[in-house]
Structure 1
């Protein structure tokens, strides 16, 4: 069989050209065995396909037409639009990522602020609970203290009533504890003698009664002595003398005179022999005071001693209402 060479250019929309390869049909070998059977033998020829270069020959190049140029222009425009759309989409995606990141940071910040605010609120609540508990405890303690104060006030009131009653009882006892013939004044007992004696005898008699000649320390005691004298026209010896030192008057217990009640122009130590004191009245006047007289003269006298209750006036003033 002879060789057949056929070349055909396939139409295409682009510049490439499809070329069929040449076909070679080789004759069967002459040495092939000839079958004698009645049925004829079919012999296939050898087909060889060779591709030609995709580049067309210069002679066969076809100039692009108007439609092909429009397609190329449209393709380029579409490519630019695609690139622009890609850039816009990329920018949008980047913006979305930035917004998402910003929102995430903002949400995290809000979450942190909320957590801190919640923590601070919890701290404030705990502090408020502690303050409320402290206030409740203080109110409870104040209530207890108020109750105790009320009880103390009631106890003090009862004690005051008992003290008043006790003081009244003691006063009554003091009044009754002075010996018969003695008068009570500020829890001291006083005896105003009727008989007259000289100063030394009067001193000894008072001492025999566990007392001493009157010692006047206050105006109240002076007034009491004057008021209680049985005969106000007489002078009464008191425990006052300057025998140890002329003009240096002292009481029988050795204490100096702190408050004097001398009559006018007294003491005058008349005739140089007046060394003992008396409570005396000015003739014709209702004026009483001290006078210096001779110790050898005889006058009634006043003795003084503490009441047997041994409770002084100061104690009554301090502890008794």
Structure 2
């Protein structure tokens, strides 16, 4: 029986979803003709059995008593005719039983095909469910890792911002510290200079104090001398007053005393001038003392201020030192955290790369499954399709047509497309041998092979790469650089070979659908 008549009893429904390849195979079987034939054969057997019984009864009960009667000869002739009809019916029954046996065998074959397709469908469903579960798990893991990576990236960004802020604050504090250190050194130099000046002034003050003490002693001595002289003057006055009465007698002495008085007066004036000079020097020294006292007070205030500034600077230095230590610890901690985050980042990057590779592998597997699905769908659609049209030949699930007219490669393909097909694409040695068998001896025919898109890269007319090739030795050679289309050359024995030729050449072509 023709294989297409067997396949025509199978209907295949395939549902495709976005989640992947879902094969839902529902075999709907028509009411088989064998059932009707079986019923008919059963009825026919019953009728024949009834006829045989009736004929037996006729010959055994009715035919024997009247066998000597010449009038029953016609009945014998009619019985022979019925016997011949019975024999024909038996032969027809045998033929129908043979047909029933063939139909039974076909039924068994169809049942086995159905069981195999059911098992294959179950395997496809199980594989798809496993792939979908694996994909869901990988998707969940990828989402979790992506979320964790985003959180870590956010934390790292925050830590990086905090680190940059702390680094900026540390640099500002370092600059302030350097500025304060410079100010401290300047103040220290000024303090040392003021200390030296204070020491110098203290030495000058001590010297002046010593000079003042000496001058004071001299003054006291002069004062004592002056007092003594004053007492002597008073005594002289008393003597003068006492001796005034005896002035005349003492005139000579008076002159001497007057000269002595003048001398004493001169000395007194000199002493007075010296006293005034000492008084002036004393006032100058007093003013200098006041100035020195003021300067000493100022220096003491400056010293206190410097001491306070030094204490404040020392406190600031201690605080800066503590801040520096804290910042150093923070820097070390942040460095450790940064190193840890870098390691986590590298680990996450490695995981991401691994997941990316897994994703690409799954994508490749999905692409291969999708390709297999498309091929199976194409085959199933062809299986479900109508038988090949007259003039077309079937191989596997495709129909092939060899043209009777000759055209160039482009026009040949256009003609195939108008027929609902395309130039043949050959994927196996069996198909090549079949196509070779369609041609007459040494005939060349266009096939759907071309490298017009990229020189040296041969693809089929639908864009798929030509993975299985049957080139002649030394082919393709792209003679004169204008041979961009492929043809099959009939060879016997053998499956035939391919050759590249100019697409403008006119020859036979082969369509496939």
Q: TM range, normalised to the smaller chain? A: 0.3 to 0.5
Q: Which protein has greater RCO, CA pairs closer than 8 Å, 6+ apart?
A: 1
TM (normalized to structure 1)? 0.40
Q: What TM-score does the superposition give when structure 2 sets the normalisation length? A: 0.26
Decide which structure has greater helix share.
2
